[in-house]
Amino acid sequence: MNKRIEELVTILNEASKAYYQQDREIMSNQEYDALYDELVALEKETGIVMAQSPTVNVGYEVVSSLPKEPHPSPMLSLDKTKDVGELENWLGDKEGLLSWKLDGLTVVLTYEDGTLSKAVTRGDGVIGEVITANARTFINIPLSIPEKGQVVVRGEAVISYSDFEKINTDGTYKNPRNLCSGSVRQLNSKITAERHVRFYAFSLAAGGGEFRFRHEQVEWMKSQGFETVKNVPVNAQTIAKAVEGYAHDIPDFDIPSDGLVLVYDDIEYGRSLGTTAKFPRDSIAFKWQDEMRDTVLREILWNASRTGLINPIAVFDPVELEGTTVSRASVHNLSIVKELELGEGDTISVYKANMIIPQIAENKSKGMETTDEGQPRKRFGAPEKCPVCGWDTVVKSDNGIETVHCVNGECPAKMIKSFTLFVSRNAMNIEGLSEATLEKFVDEALIRTPADIFRLDRCKDRIVSMDGFGEKSYENLLAAAEKASHTTPDRLLYALGIPNIGVANARQICRACRNDWGKIMGLSEEELISMEGIGDIMAKAYVEFFAKADNIEKIEDLLSVLTIDESFEEAADTLAGKTFVITGSLEHFENRDAAKAKIEELGGKTAGSVSSKTDYLINNDIASNSSKNKKAKELGIPIITEEDFLEMIQ
């Protein structure tokens, strides 16, 4: 049942994201409703409700600081070994449980009467930080569990490698653990929610009844909705094979791990051993024996990203590590290049962190003034020019970490992402301009600013001669650009790509400014913060965006080719306090986003599913037997057509 709950939460959230954010459907309304109803029934039956469940809304919280709290008893770190033989000796004739040692941030969860009441980080082991609001946003954490007594669970908060790659596009974070640590300890829980933090329970500190064995505790935690990593029963004769099995799984294991944990399965026996001054005696950590190879460094390549950050990559003579040939390793930033004193021809030691990620462990030529041949060493430094556009680079320092940046706003490496947003459906809505097409146009220097998209009539001969283009596709593109050039302030505001300003924020800001573009550009932080849903971070980024001269120049260029409808009608709060659910095909509105925009404009709200909080269900097929219709009828919620809705707002 627990696994099915997790599957349903994932499937339904993916469907909602596709429907509401990407304007596409991956399942019918009937299929969604059936799965939703199944989830509701399972949650009621099991008493387990996950944080990401579409049946609950987790509110966000902003605090000025994280309160500190002492742990009831010190949380000690584990003694370590890299020798499997030591694990065998440590076990002796006892049974043990072997599991992954995750590389994240330890968090202690407390449940009272079946509800998550408190979450505290490990901190220094004696005093931790209270992060309850943030923990409620972890992807796989249960907000409610069946057990009604007090329950205290310890586990690891982590960010997967795949999520880390999606989030760390600008290279700000060195590894998933750094990102996770910062995410868990955010003062704004909305930011934590965006980081896809996961929680894996590893021990039961209190509650749940009496257990003789650790494996029983693990199974009980699973029954309460907690996710755990793989646990393998072992003894002195089988542990070597078990360790080998974990090593085999490493390449496909998406969760950061820095080894394994071995614990005595017999709980009472483990407790009877007590602790040393530093370590508990009932468990021990196993760290992988890093396979190290010496090689010769040949060069540092600098790779420009779409955010303007230029990352260093070490290129060295190929070596075999953990069964694969390795010839490159990320060096992360300029500070590390300087710290290692990396130079051409240096002898370096390389390894795979966690047996996966190539890293430089040591520069054996560090401190030397000459090479083995007696020539002066050529040390690497920051590139003077961007490797993509050739502009002068800028070195920035943040908390003592130096990074290299390209500040050319027209650098091709940076332009594609901003152009893709600019032409998207909820922005300027220019059909026929895919990311692949935009890349071609940028490579051919046909567009360098957003306004150039509306001047493509100057490039007819070059466009019709490009692969995949002809006279007809060119004419279609021009027609789409002409149509999009007549736009509204909220579309343009969203299209500019201001950090953290989404579609709803753009609409809200424009309504507050009565569609006056001059006022929209000149808002102060105080004015923005006074608007519902706009926080300090968003307001600061917004004001900084319009304070930059190059942004103003691009906007003025855009205004020369666009026609902006600044007309504004004072909208009566006709729908204030009303919540609508929209289902089925629409006839009068272009799409559901347009219908949602109208509802929000008149003070109403929209939701994805019918509940007791819904005031109206909009469905042109009132007689259908869809689950949304059935639900609305069960709850006595009026089902209205588009025409009914239009009459209502008139």
> Which residues belong to the active site?
101
Token pair for 225: 């909705």
Under DSSP, the state recorded for 233 is: E
Report in angstroms the alpha-carbon separations of 625 from 12, 15, 633, 643: 20, 21, 10, 20
Under DSSP, the state recorded for 84 is: H
Q: Which residues contact 360 (CB under 8 A, 6 or more apart)?
A: 314, 329, 331, 340, 342, 348, 349, 350
CA dist 602 and 511 (Å) reads 10
Under DSSP, the state recorded for 266 is: B
Report in angstroms the alpha-carbon separations of 57 from 49, 54, 145, 534: 11, 7, 17, 19
Query: Which spans in 138-188 are helix H?
Result: 161-167, 176-184
CA dist 527 and 509 (Å) reads 10
CA dist 225 and 53 (Å) reads 12
CB atoms within 10 A of CB 22: 12
CA dist 214 and 204 (Å) reads 9
Token pair for 30: 């009937």
Tell which residue, 351, 312, 345, has the closest CA to residue 330: 312
Tell which residue, 98, 184, 116, 182, has the closest CA to residue 153: 116
CA dist 410 and 592 (Å) reads 35
DSSP 487-542: E-HHHHHHHTT-TT--HHHHHHHHHHTTT-HHHHHT--HHHHHTSTT--HHHHHHH
CA dist 54 and 56 (Å) reads 5
Q: Are 114 and 144 in contact, with CB atoms under 8 Å apart?
A: yes
Tell which residue, 315, 122, 288, 111, has the closest CA to residue 208: 111
CB atoms within 10 A of CB 147: 16
Token pair for 518: 């001059």
Residue 351 forms beta bridges with which residues?
359
